[in-house]
Structure 1
């Protein structure tokens, strides 16, 4: 999908992105039953990076390494090494819905960084929307405070959210000519580093159960959960304000919680409904001043 197509249909692209990311954590949860977490994250990153590199080469796009290498390094460190490793560890320690909720605190981080580094105005309406969305996220988190929450899992998730925010703002500031190469190169490099790190920490390839289910989950994670979703995400960020686009992703935990309830049997409570209403209201306020 080209950047021009995404720019012409931003609402459809955003809806597709929310759906992909919303069901992503429950699918990851399934994959972790067959593979150690860091090896699983590394395999998805390398697979997605290879796919995007092939697509970019086939389209004749050129990687602007000389002009964007600082942003590429930042992306490799924050969008891949820290984000993938920490988010995968988070989903191992937390229910899929809760892990997604913690990760999607990133709009708060992005709004602050975009205000400081990109000059995006943090208006009172936008701030109110972000705070309301944050309140909804917090309300959603309450449904897991019954002894199943892991402090380590929460810390991993918050760290992943912060890393994602830094990587996104660095991309927006760099404005690379080829989004595909900007995603592919850091994910190839970072994916290999994650694989080596997993092996160094004692994860063994013999622990991977190469069943048809795992192969399907791995293929989906690389092709859709990484390649397609990150292309949509960065193209949408490039087309508008990073803070406003990040605010829209408050909707993702709602989809993730619903998917966790439907497919993994995770509980659905009245608190989740109240939190969901607050999230929807926050997203409305973030976009109201357009």
Structure 2
């Protein structure tokens, strides 16, 4: 999708993105039953990077490495190596819905970074929306507190959220000419580094069960869960405020928890009603026009 289409139809792009990311963690949880976490994350990133490389060559020609290589390295570190690596480790240790909730603390991080580095005004209305959305996320998280949660899993999730925020604000600041190359090259480099890290930490190729089910999950994760979703995400960030777009992602945990309940049998409690209402109210306030603040 071009930036022109995103600019004209942001709600279509955002709705598609929320749906893709909302079901992404339950699908990732299924894939982890066939493959060690770091190898799985690395293979998805490399697959998505190869797909986007073909598209970038077709649409944008050769990459402009001379002017963008520092931003590409930053993206490979934060958007791929740390984000994908830590988030995959988190979802291995936590229920898919809870892992998604922890990860989607990133709007708070992005709002602060965008205020400091991008000059995006953090109005009282927007701050209230972010805090309300955060409260909704916290309420949603309560439904998973009945059992024991892994402290390491939560730490990995928070780390992945921080890495994602840094990578997103770095992209907005760099403003690259080609979004496709900005995603493709870091995916390839970061994915290979994640695979190497997995092998260094004792994961083995022989641990992967190359079944048709795993191949389907891997293909979906690379093509839709990573390549398509990240193209949509960065295109939305490019045409709008990073903090506003990040605030909209508070809706993703609602979809993720629902998907985890439907497909993985994870518990669902009445606490979600309070969290859902708070999240929706928070998203409304984040997107409310500044003149009404």
Q: Classify the secondary structure of the residue corresponding to 1:27.
A: helix
Contact 2:35 2:208 in 1 (8 A): yes
Distance in 1 of aligned mates of 2:110 and 2:247? 9
Which residue is 1:233 aligned to?
233
Root-mean-square deviation (Å): 0.8
- Range moving further from structure 2, 97-106 or 59-68: 59-68
**1:222 CA displacement:** 0.2
Contact 2:60 2:178 in 1 (8 A): no
Q: Classify the secondary structure of the residue corresponding to 1:232.
A: helix
Which residue is 1:6 aligned to?
6
Contact 1:38 1:88 in 2 (8 A): yes
- Range moving further from structure 2, 55-64 or 116-125: 55-64
Q: How does 1:38-187 map to 2 (within 5 A)?
A: 38-187=38-187
**1:67 CA displacement:** 1.1
Q: Classify the secondary structure of the residue corresponding to 1:281.
A: helix
- Taking structure 2 as the reference length, what is the TM-score of the superposition? 0.98
Contact 1:49 1:187 in 2 (8 A): yes
Contact 1:62 1:178 in 2 (8 A): no
- Taking structure 1 as the reference length, what is the TM-score of the superposition? 0.99
**1:175 CA displacement:** 0.3
Distance in 2 of aligned mates of 1:77 and 1:33? 26
Q: Classify the secondary structure of the residue corresponding to 1:209.
A: coil
Distance in 2 of aligned mates of 1:145 and 1:175? 41
Which residue is 1:192 aligned to?
192
Distance in 2 of aligned mates of 1:129 and 1:80? 28
Where does the alignment leave 5 or more consecutive residues of structure 2 unmatched?
none
**1:272 CA displacement:** 1.2
**1:44 CA displacement:** 0.2
Where does the alignment leave 5 or more consecutive residues of structure 1 unmatched?
none
Distance in 2 of aligned mates of 1:6 and 1:284? 20
**1:102 CA displacement:** 0.3
Which residue is 1:249 aligned to?
249
Q: Classify the secondary structure of the residue corresponding to 1:196.
A: helix
Which residue is 2:287 aligned to?
287
Distance in 2 of aligned mates of 1:195 and 1:67? 28
Distance in 1 of aligned mates of 2:64 and 2:111? 27
